[in-house]
Amino acid sequence: MKIATWNVNSIRARLDRAVAWLQRTGPDVACLQELKSSEEDFPRAEIEALGYRIQATYQRTYNGVAILSRHDATAVVHSLDDGVEDPQARLVAATVDGLRVVCVYVPNGGVVGSDKYAYKLAWMGRLRAWLERHHRPDEPLIVCGDLNIAPEARDVHDPALWENESLFHVDSRRALQDLCAWGLQDALRLVTQEAGIYSWWDYRMLGFPKNRGLRIDHVLVTEPVARRVRGVTVERNERKGKQPSDHAPVVLELD
């Protein structure tokens, strides 16, 4: 079973590449972030034609996340469900083939110390509280998506340059550690200890050609899923060519 996550940076701008990617990689479940599309403008027919069902939460211009699945998705939820007034579409969850899949787009955080940064840290806390309310770490569950946090120095091309940025700041990293402390493991680290594996490269400053990347897209798994992990791949080649997203897909293979 293949479960993939990819920040597409606009589903309409990326439709041709997304269709080719779905056909080539063929995930059973694909979690997409940054759809940047209203429900009316979402290319539903093109994706359904490939054999995928679509569960999504939409927002015009910003955010938006989807779970595409070859099989039925049940118990679909579209928000953190905590009474906080929050119009940002950043979470969709569904159960597919007995696996609870939580697709998230964690806030970027802007500048450390800003209102956006406070929102990012609060959102991470809300996500952990949501897991505590609705799930247990002994369930087969994965949280995947654009977490907008690099866990460790080996996940950042130049850690000193990034330690004061929201993607690698100590408080972001602590928030990710707190989330994982609920009972989630970084699937990639179950299969490799290699440094320099990145999933995002800034469009600016020749970020990709110079390999100035960060690993901020993750698949986090509970113990019952960890036991089934066969492999985790970052599809770096998807960052190449014409009109790429600034993120590469991450693909989890389960027994």
Q: Return the ∠ at Cα 32 (arms to 174 and 94), rounded to 5°.
A: 85
Q: Is 132 in the site for DNA (CB under 7 A)?
A: no
Q: Is 10 in the site for DNA (CB under 7 A)?
A: yes
Nearer to DNA, 9 or 69 (CB): 9
Residues 155-174 touching DNA, rule: CB under 7 A, are 161
Look up residue 156 and give its two tokens.
Answer: 């950042």
Determine the Cα–Cα distance for residues 58 and 66; give it in Å rounded to an integer. 8
Nearer to DNA, 10 or 233 (CB): 10
**Helix, strand, or coil here: 231?**
strand
Nearer to DNA, 45 or 193 (CB): 45
Q: Is 243 in the site for DNA (CB under 7 A)?
A: yes
Determine the Cα–Cα distance for residues 113 and 107; give it in Å rounded to an integer. 14
What is the smallest separation between the CB atom of 118 and DNA, expressed in angstroms? 13
Q: Is 60 in the site for DNA (CB under 7 A)?
A: yes
What is the smallest separation between the CB atom of 146 and DNA, expressed in angstroms? 8
What is the smallest separation between the CB atom of 116 and DNA, expressed in angstroms? 6
Name 73's Cβ contacts closer than 8 Å, sequence gap at least 6.
53, 55, 67, 94, 95, 96
